[in-house]
Amino acid sequence: SYTTDSKSREENKKTLESLYSLSVDITKIRRLKEWVLLQDVAYVTEIAGILQEMGADGTTVANIIERCPEAILRTPAEINSQRALWQLVCQNEKQLIKLIEQFPGSFFTTDYQQNQKANILFFQELGLKNNIITRFLTSAPNIFYNPVEKNKNVIETLQRNYLNLGGSEANMKIWILKLLSQNPFILLNTSTAIQENLEFLQKNDFTDQEVLQLLSKLKGFIFQLNSTTMQKSMLFSKNIFKCSDQELKQLVLKCPALLYYSVPVLEERLEGLLKEGISIAQIRETPMVLELTTQIVQYRIKKLSALGYDIKSGNLESLNGTKKDFEVTYGKIQSKKERPIFNPVAPLHIED
């Protein structure tokens, strides 16, 4: 509904004056979203007033408007509704202002308020804690744009499949909440896609228990895939590791990344490892190393080599894990290397 034809329009002088009075850096707005300055109607003073009411100081107000200039095109009524909506999950206005400053784009998208409210209430009913819902509002706002029925439908599909795969009624709620908090983008999938992916795994002889295990390990990312890409990735791994269907299944259970990553990604990572002198046999023994990017692998090998640790002759476990896991492993190898070897029968040299 906003014009973007900057050649035929002039910047709104009233808007510019109001922004200057708030010490907003207008050059940033011109660079970011100049079209905002061309609109006939803007609510600069009103929006600034609402933010100040919530406890924002002048610097914070200017920072919010610079980062999300379209905020000044929202009506005060829209912003007050959004404020009330976010207060359903925020502890207080201090927390709310902090969130708006960090994620202004999420807060000032006010076109889906009815859906947002219905989804917030649905997530609360489901048992999600308010701090998780605020995280969703800021980092995955588009899941709130869905009609609540669509999100309910996806959750029901997950619950039904969890029980069909042998999961217990008692654990189902915990499983769903964990899955959602790890990966809220599951809700952007359709119920049909979820069903198809689960059927694909069953057709490939994964038992119900193994499918459940994969779902938990993949943090729901499996639902963002499709059977064609999974089939290609599995075929690629089978050819590379020269293994039987049963062996491949065990590799996938050990390292679900073999299912999740596309063939070009797996190829690139494999190539990176081979260039470092690592063998296919070593990778097959520790496939989880394929979860790491080539850059991370190179950095870790370099650090270990500096300690005299030869990755080509050892296993790849020392490369694995998160940054924190690697630092622990590295620390252990380092302290082992630095520890002096004490010889109990060596003569002691004591100076007078």
Q: Could you tell me the pLDDT band of residue 352, with boundaries at 50, 70 and 90?
A: very low
Confidence at residue 6, expressed as pLDDT on a 0 to 100 scale: 47
**Using alpha carbons only, what angle is made at residue 100 by residues 66 and 86, rounded to the nearest 5 degrees?**
145
Is residue 89 included in any domain, yes or no? yes
Please name which of 210, 225, 212, 209 lies closest in space to residue 260, comparing C-alpha atoms: 225
Average pLDDT, the chain: 88
Is residue 287 included in any domain, yes or no? no
CB-based burial label for 186 (10 Å; 0-12, 13-18, 19+):
buried
* pLDDT tens, residue by residue, 248-260: 999 999 988 898 8
Is residue 105 included in any domain, yes or no? yes
Q: Which of 34-43, 102-111, 236-245, 303-312 has the lowest mean pLDDT?
A: 303-312
pTM: 0.77
- What angle, 0 to 180 degrees and rounded to 10, lies between the N-to-C axes of helices 130-139 and 93-102? 30
Is residue 64 included in any domain, yes or no? yes
Is residue 177 included in any domain, yes or no? no
Domain total for the chain?
A: 1
Is residue 49 included in any domain, yes or no? yes
Query: With contact defined as beta carbons under 8 Å apart, do 291 and 255 qualify?
Result: yes
Q: Per residue in 92-130, is it b (16+ CB within 10 Å) or e — as a string?
A: ebebbbebbbebbebbbbbebeebbbbbbebbeeeebee
Question: What residues make up the domain containing 62?
Answer: 10-110
Is residue 36 included in any domain, yes or no? yes
Confidence at residue 340, expressed as pLDDT on a 0 to 100 scale: 53
Is residue 115 included in any domain, yes or no? no
Q: What are phi and psi of 16, to 5 degrees?
A: -60, -45
Q: Which of 179-183, 189-193, 220-224 has the lowest mean pLDDT?
A: 220-224
Q: Is the pLDDT of residue 333 over 90?
A: no
Confidence at residue 7, expressed as pLDDT on a 0 to 100 scale: 47
Residue 24: how many CB atoms within 10 A of its CB? Answer: 23
Q: Is the pLDDT of residue 336 over 80?
A: no
* pLDDT tens, residue by residue, 10-62: 999 999 999 999 999 999 999 989 999 999 999 999 999 999 999 999 999 99
Query: With contact defined as beta carbons under 8 Å apart, do 337 and 307 qualify?
Result: yes
Confidence at residue 30, expressed as pLDDT on a 0 to 100 scale: 93
Q: Is the pLDDT of residue 337 over 90?
A: no
* pLDDT tens, residue by residue, 62-80: 999 999 999 999 999 999 9
What is the average per-residue pLDDT within 196-218? 87
Q: Could you tell me the pLDDT band of residue 212, with boundaries at 50, 70 and 90?
A: confident
CA distance linking residue 13 with residue 19, whole number of Å: 10
Confidence at residue 44, expressed as pLDDT on a 0 to 100 scale: 96
Distances, alpha carbon 199 to alpha carbons 167, 192, 230, 259, in Å: 16, 11, 12, 14
Amino acid at 50: I
CA distance linking residue 146 with residue 189, whole number of Å: 11
What is the average per-residue pLDDT within 117-132? 95
Confidence at residue 345, expressed as pLDDT on a 0 to 100 scale: 54
